[in-house]
A and B are shown apart, each in its own frame.
Chain A
């Protein structure tokens, strides 16, 4: 088992993680506090707005009561002509006056009850009472309400003398024909009013010209406790801190588990690697052993071949030598048949000697190293053909060699290949009317194939696989001479070059020997 080292992140990384968790918890606390503060403020404003609006609507209702109930009742009681100037006191007839003063009383009551005052105002551009003169903000609002009749209310938070106020205004734009009784042309108004308001104030309005707003401004109060908000935020912060710590621990445990799994996996892999290495080592040892066994076998084969070359030939030489001695020294005591026997014995010796030599040659091809270099097959073939022509100048054979065929191989061995194939072609075209031999190359798929083709005796394809066996012959000695070792030699050389060799032929039509390298 391989020792596992603990990953170094655990100690310092853990502390950093704690800091991070703390910071996140504080951040969450602040966020929660801000959110709670915002919600509380929003709620408080909403509530304040609702109560202010109900007060405004109550005042509006009061206005309407005076105009729509009190005034008609008054006229009904006294009759139109009976209303004298003395009756045009604002305390009795002016809804604005009555509502304003009623509000003053309301404020006094509030004060007595220990509540803040509520500022109520009816503002206009051309008020009868100067206290109703519009401030710039109010004048601006009157214009805006006039411009856009869909606006039903305006709301704003104001900071006045360090105090927060909620300011709410609603338009008071609609007027009716009966309003013109007091606000129309001066000369049409009741004389009492004319006297009471000597200036322009409130007169000469036209129908639809009384433009005004009603507004209320109340101080805003902290309807919520900041302490509660802080406590709630801290509580949430603590909860999130605990959750984070819990999740962090879970995560760390998970990481630790996974790390341990991975380490075990790594250890397992290392162990397997070790095994593979051990197996490899065993294999290598086996290969070494087998190689040395092969080397021993090769040496033994060598020794065997050496022994064959000496021990098989020596007695053969004895047989031949003494048979000849017999013939020379005692020939006169033998008749024709006896001498024929002796010549047959000697012929057998010669053939066996050649066979032993060929066998040795074949065995030598399997030994020794390949000496690879570039070989000009064309030039080599031409030389061999030249030698064949010199040996049999009487024969006329048309030989064509494709020029410039170059390969990489052992020159000595490839020469033996070409010698065997060409001398075969030469030999087997002996009985052909116009003998021809072609040495060339072609591309078969992606491999280069070299071939020697002749139009000679050919062979039966049924025996094609026997061609390359050592000492295999398809023709009798009388037909064509040979010991059947040439093609075995060719095959061994081609195999040693990592190539293949094969033959195609038709009886009496010729043969093609092809090989790759």
Chain B
């Protein structure tokens, strides 16, 4: 399972298309703001009743989000025992040094900048999928 945290419906559609085109067939859950992402992971709010023990293999996290932004989501994940080791890939438009520094400081596992060119974007998603879903060994549950 992949958790995609993305508020822009275009980017969401393009990401899903890129995943599909690259034959990444894992289930993709989309959260459209930071608060929803946390609700999903902890089984609270709109996702009350969900089994919080079921965690995604990787989270694709945008930084610029309504309600709680990506960095705040990351911070809460890392502070929570259950999600502290969860692989988090920042997938953002931002090329700002301070965003990169802050993301790594808060414990992201990777930082990918979304290219404008869809071919490049698609390639990035493909490599990302192969790496995190196939090559990478997730921490034991």
Given A314-B8, A314-B10, A317-B11: A324 in contact with B118 (beta carbons within 8 A): yes
The answer, yes or no, to whether A318 is at the interface (CB within 8 Å) is yes
Interface string of B88-117 (1 = CB under 8 A from A): 000011111000000000000000001111
* A residues in contact with B14, CB < 8 Å: 317-318, 321-322, 325
The verdict on A324 contacting B119 (CB below 8 Å), with A315-B10, A318-B11 known, is yes
Instruction: Pick from A314, A324, A357: contact of B11, CB below 8 A.
Output: A314
The interface bits of chain A over 337-354 (1 if a CB of B lies within 8 angstroms of the residue's CB, else 0) are: 000000000100110110
* CB atoms of B121 and A310 under 8 A apart: no
A378 CB, min distance to chain B CBs, angstroms: 29
A360 near B: Cβ within 8 Å?
A: yes
State whether the Cβ of B64 lies closer than 8 Å to any Cβ in chain A: yes
Residues of chain B contacted by A317 (CB below 8 angstroms): 10-11, 14, 93, 114-116, 118, 121
Question: Which residues from chain B contact A324 at a C-beta distance below 8 Å?
Answer: 118-119
Inside 8 A of A318's CB, which chain B residues have their CB? 8, 10-11, 14
Nearest neighbor of A329 in chain B, beta-carbon distance: B17
A309 on the B face (CB < 8 A): yes
User: Within the complex, what minimum Cβ distance (angstroms) separates B94 from chain A?
Assistant: 6
Q: Which of B15-31 contact A (CB under 8 A)?
A: 17
Nearest CB of A to B10, in Å: 4
In whole Å, how far is A362's beta carbon from the nearest beta carbon of chain B?
13
Most buried by B among A314, A315, A320, A321: A321
- Known A-B contacts A306-B96, A321-B10, A322-B10; A313 and B17 likewise in contact (beta carbons under 8 Å): no
Give the residues in chain A near B64, CB-CB below 8 Å.
310
Contact B10 A310 (CB under 8 A): no
A278-301 CB contacts (< 8 Å) to partner B: none
Residue of B93, B95, B116 with highest tally of chain A CB at under 10 A: B116
Q: Which residues of A contact B13 (CB under 8 A)?
A: 321-322
A306 to B116, CA, bound (A): 16
- Partner of B117 from the list A306, A309, A310, A350 (CB cut-off 8 Å) is A350
Q: B64: nearest residue on chain A (CB-CB)?
A: A310
Which residues of chain A are within 8 angstroms of B116 by Cβ–Cβ distance?
A: 313, 316-317, 320, 349-350, 352-353
- Residues 346-383 of chain A: 1 if any B CB is under 8 Å from the residue's CB, otherwise 0? 10011011000100100000000000000000000000
| Measured CA separation A325–B17 after assembly (Å) | 9
**Smallest distance from the beta carbon of B37 to chain A beta carbons, Å?**
18
A-side interface residues, number (CB < 8 Å):
22
Q: A420 to chain B: closest CB distance in Å?
A: 19
A360 near B95 with CB under 8 A, answer yes
Residues of B close to A315: CB separation below 8 A? 10
In the bound assembly, the distance between CA atoms of A349 and B115 in angstroms comes to: 11
Q: Which residues of B contact A352 (CB under 8 A)?
A: 116
Nearest-Cβ distance from residue B80 to partner chain A, whole angstroms? 27
Q: CA–CA, A360 to B96, complex, Å?
A: 9
Q: How far is the CA of A325 from the CA of B15 in the complex (A)?
A: 12
**Known contacts A320-B118, A321-B17; A313 and B93 CB within 8 A of each other:** yes
How distant is the Cα of A121 from the Cα of B116 in the complex, in angstroms?
Answer: 151
Interface centre among A309, A346, A349, A350 (most CB of B within 10 A): A309
A309→B121 contact, CB < 8 A: no
Cβ of A225 to closest chain B Cβ, rounded Å? 114
Q: Please measure, in the bound complex, the distance between the C-alpha atom of A211 and the C-alpha atom of B118, giving whole angstroms.
A: 157
Which residues of A, 250-305, contact B by the 8 Å Cβ criterion?
none
Task: Please tell me if the beta carbons of B117 and A353 are within 8 angstroms of each other in the complex.
Answer: yes
Which residues of the partner chain A approach B95 to less than 8 Å between Cβ atoms?
Answer: 309, 357, 360
Question: With A and B bound together, what is the CA distance between A317 and B93 in angstroms?
Answer: 10
Closest A residue to B63 by beta carbon equals A310
Least CB distance, A108 to chain B, in whole angstroms: 142
Residues from chain B with a CB closer than 8 A to the CB of A310 are: 64, 92-94
- Taking the nearest CB of chain B, how far is it from the CB of A15, in angstroms? 80
Q: Which 6 A-B pairs have the closest CB atoms?
A: A353-B116, A318-B10, A321-B14, A321-B118, A324-B118, A310-B93
B interface residues, Cβ below 8 angstroms from A: 8, 10-11, 13-14, 17, 64, 92-96, 114-119, 121
> Can you name 18 A-B pairs with beta carbons within 8 Å?
A309-B95, A309-B96, A310-B92, A310-B93, A313-B93, A314-B93, A317-B10, A317-B14, A317-B115, A317-B118, A320-B116, A320-B117, A320-B118, A322-B14, A325-B17, A352-B116, A353-B117, A360-B95
Sample of 13 further A-B pairs with CB below 8 A, known A313-B116, A317-B10, A321-B10: A309-B96, A314-B8, A314-B93, A317-B14, A318-B11, A320-B118, A322-B13, A323-B118, A324-B118, A325-B118, A350-B116, A352-B116, A360-B95
